[in-house]
Amino acid sequence: MPRKRLTQIFPFLIPFRAKQRKFCYYLKMRFDGNAYAAEKGERLPYKVFSCTTDMYNEKTGFDMIYQENKVHNLKLGAAAMEGLLIRPDEVFSYSRATRFADKKTPYKDGLILRDGKLVTDYGGGMCQLTDTLFTLFLNSPLTITERHGHKLKDFPDPDPYAVKGTDATVFEGWLDLKVKNETAQTFQLSFSFDEKHITGTLLSDKKDTFIYRAVNGKVTYKDEQDGVYEEAEVYRETRFAENNIFVSKTHLYDNRCRIGYELQERNEEK
């Protein structure tokens, strides 16, 4: 029988443990030798990639107030990163970039995935922002240094042709989303909202010779004892921007998650 953690025996210690973890996390980041993106600037001239997603999900089983709360949270997080520059040799950290996003205006309770179940908690729903960021990063020359996928996929992709396995979850002090700029370009983050959508855009100070696109390799669904699992290979294709001629295809990672809905198809290869 595994030994219980101190916070399992004394649950009232959990908030103190969380604060300790966050303090140590940012202290370690301060002395890890990386230069972290922190400065904002005027809008850069060239668009690298842009993506738009719906903000409201009516199929969660929860009151729609939590979707409204999510939108409130998304706007706070996006405002903290609007105009942020990622210069050559700098590292972008989502946790660091949004650390004080709720300093003046608090987050609201939204939906989060905890122990495989949807529950409500302070600042919930921010994974849509990290998913948007990760999509931008995948479709760029930035180097992914830390990314964590959800262990459970609750709902099917709104777009059946979307690249699978490209979500990103964060948990401050434990899990982060990080990329490093190993190019000679400077990149910049920008966000916009309309009544139903969030749009994330990655900009650059230079027009690139290449375009970058995330694509799937093999995607399979496997029946296992505790459910059905989706396994997806994720690659980045590089093509010449001028004529779209293929240059290279690089394997980035393999994603695995359990499916929490009924599948229409079992297996597919791309």
How many C-beta neighbours within 10 Å does residue 163 have?
19
- In single-letter form, the type of residue at position 4 comes to K
Residue 154, pLDDT score? 81
Beta carbons of 62 and 120 less than 8 angstroms apart: yes
* Chain centre to alpha carbon of residue 54: 15
Residue 9, pLDDT score? 62
DSSP secondary structure of 21-67: HHHHHHHHHHTSS-EE---B-SPPSEEEEEEEEE---TTSSS-THHH
- Say how far apart CA 229 and CA 225 lie, in whole Å: 10
Beta carbons of 150 and 232 less than 8 angstroms apart: no
Residue 102, pLDDT score? 95
The CA-based angle 246-252-256, given to 5 degrees, is 125
Mean pLDDT along residues 171-176? 93
pTM of the model: 0.91
The predicted-structure confidence for 9-62, as pLDDT tens digits, reads as follows 656 555 676 788 898 999 999 999 999 999 999 999 999 999 999 999 887 778
CA torsion through residues 100, 101, 103, 106, sign: negative
Mean pLDDT of the chain: 91
* pLDDT surpassing 50 at residue 179: yes
Residues in Cβ contact with 65 at an 8 Å cutoff, skipping those fewer than 6 apart:
none
Tokens of 202: 């990655």
- Say how far apart CA 230 and CA 257 lie, in whole Å: 5
- Say how far apart CA 12 and CA 8 lie, in whole Å: 9
Residue 19, pLDDT score? 83
Q: Which of 70-74, 109-113, 177-181 has the lowest mean pLDDT?
A: 109-113
The predicted-structure confidence for 121-163, as pLDDT tens digits, reads as follows 899 899 999 999 999 999 999 999 999 999 998 878 878 889 9
Residue 270, pLDDT score? 42
pLDDT band at 69 (very low <50, low <70, confident <90, very high): very high
- In single-letter form, the type of residue at position 199 comes to T
Pair type for strands 246-259 and 152-153:
parallel
Q: Which has the closest alpha carbon to 77: 99, 46, 51?
A: 99
Residue 266, pLDDT score? 57
pLDDT band at 269 (very low <50, low <70, confident <90, very high): very low
Helix, strand, coil tally for the chain in percent (to 5): 20, 40, 40
Mean pLDDT along residues 81-86? 98
Residues in the chain: 270
- Say how far apart CA 252 and CA 86 lie, in whole Å: 21
pLDDT band at 262 (very low <50, low <70, confident <90, very high): confident
Q: Taking the domains of the chain in order of start, what are their residue ranges?
A: 35-206
